[in-house]
Amino acid sequence: MSRKQITGIGPAPRTGADDSGCPILHVDMDAFFASVELLERPELRGRPVIVGSPAGRGVVLSATYEARAYGVHSAMPMSRARRLCPQAVIIPPGHGKYSEVSKGVMEIFHAITPLVEPIASDEAFLDVGGARRRLGPPAAIAAMIKEQVLDRYGITCSVGVASSKFVAKLASKQCKPDGLLVVPAGEVVAFLHPLPVSALWGVGERTEQSLVRLGIRTVGDLARVPPGTLQRELGQAVGGHLAALAWGRDERQVSAHVPDKSIGNEETFATDVDDPGVIRRELLRLSERVAARMRKGGHVGRTVSVKLRRADFTTITRSRTLREPTDVAQVIYATACELFQAAGLERVRLRLVGVRMENLRPAEEATRQLSLGERETGWREAEQAMDKAIRRFGPDAVVPASLVRGKLDEIET
């Protein structure tokens, strides 16, 4: 069955598309960061545009579809993106404006249904089953969302309408950009089976290679393999998961309150670094950012993780679970330094470092009993005071002394 037979694409769904069993929407902004930038640079419309660091060695944050035609995509190293599309206009990211537009778009979603599950700043699942009586069928609600996002913010989005989260997300990807794709509940298998097996959640590069060795290239091929065979080849959990998805079985509900699983920050150096002092200063800077985000969100965490990427792109991660949960930067930093030292990379050229806190829980669980004779360090109170100063006077109002020293060293050199 062709895509045209099961969908309508554009500002309104095709007459006759059966969305009666399709309460789940997946809304995905089209080239979100790039689209927001073009609001201020309309003369660049129709040209390849990449959002990322023009001088550094970071990754592509977003790219217009004109740039994607050259093979550029998000998370690609900027150096490779510039080689693939040397004529692209590169715009440095302005994160504040993205957050502002994202917040407004999410407000549009919440005005339609309380069942909104954000996946990122530019996409979300919605369950509109309870909004039918007030706003009409799901496909009409999807069309209304597209119209409101365009009218209020001047950017486009693509919407998948289906009976499950898995199929809705696939549908939104299939109809990009600026599309609306309805997959009726009775046509899920016809929609899924022609797709490449890599379309399934959980099929990464290695799993795809394993499946291709078995002669499995499409979702339909996989659906015809007995689940027991898949479980023997891929493992019990993965095999069973893929066998269910191949037939469109996804029982997960839209969750309006999805707790953060982790909070992290990472930094790509302008040039490879093998100076342990520079790396430790960056670990401190990242620890400060992570801790501030945790306190702002009302979180504490027990597991500290560091990410270390070598110059040859080999990535090493190390983690440690603390005795008590924390949101204190100094605790996170001390643990990150220990993990860095234990990784044995103190004299190895690094391209990127990252710090992440996992195993999160509400901040009120951070209270603990002091051991006999133990003194409270006062770090949490000091960092909370720093938060207040930063909110009032700006991000550079209070900076750890070692970071100030590092900045002076950079200026002197």
Q: Which residues are catalytic?
A: 123
Confirm whether residue 28 is marked as ligand binding: yes
What single string gives the DSSP state of each residue in 1-68? --HHHH---SSSPPTT---TT--EEEEEETTHHHHHHHHH-GGGTTS-EEES-SSS--B--EE-HHHH
Query: Quick one: the chain helix, strand, coil %, rounded to 5?
Result: 45, 20, 35
Q: Which helix or strand (DSSP H or E) is residue 319 part of?
A: strand 315-326
Question: What is the residue whose two structure tokens read 């016809």?
Answer: 190
88 class by beta-carbon count within 10 Å (0-12 exposed, 13-18 middle, 19+ buried): buried
Question: What is the residue whose two structure tokens read 């998000």?
Answer: 74
Residue 210: HSE in the Cβ half-sphere, 13 Å Cα cutoff: 15
- What strands lie across the sheet with 262-273, from one edge to the other? 262-273, 350-362, 299-310, 315-326
Cβ neighbors of 264 (< 8 A, separation 6 or more) are: 290, 305, 307, 354, 355, 356, 357
CA 220 to chain centre: 29
Amino acid letter, residue 373: G
Task: Supply the DSSP symbol for 376.
Answer: P
Cβ neighbors of 372 (< 8 A, separation 6 or more) are: none
- What strands lie across the sheet with 49-51, from one edge to the other? 62-63, 49-51, 89-91
375 class by beta-carbon count within 10 Å (0-12 exposed, 13-18 middle, 19+ buried): exposed
**Distances, alpha carbon 183 to alpha carbons 29, 51, 260, in Å:** 19, 33, 30
Backbone angles phi, psi at 215, to 5 degrees: 80, 15
Q: Which two tokens stand for residue 11?
A: 């500002």
Confirm whether residue 122 is marked as ligand binding: yes
Q: Which helix or strand (DSSP H or E) is residue 360 part of?
A: strand 350-362
| Binding-site positions for Mg(2+) | 28, 122
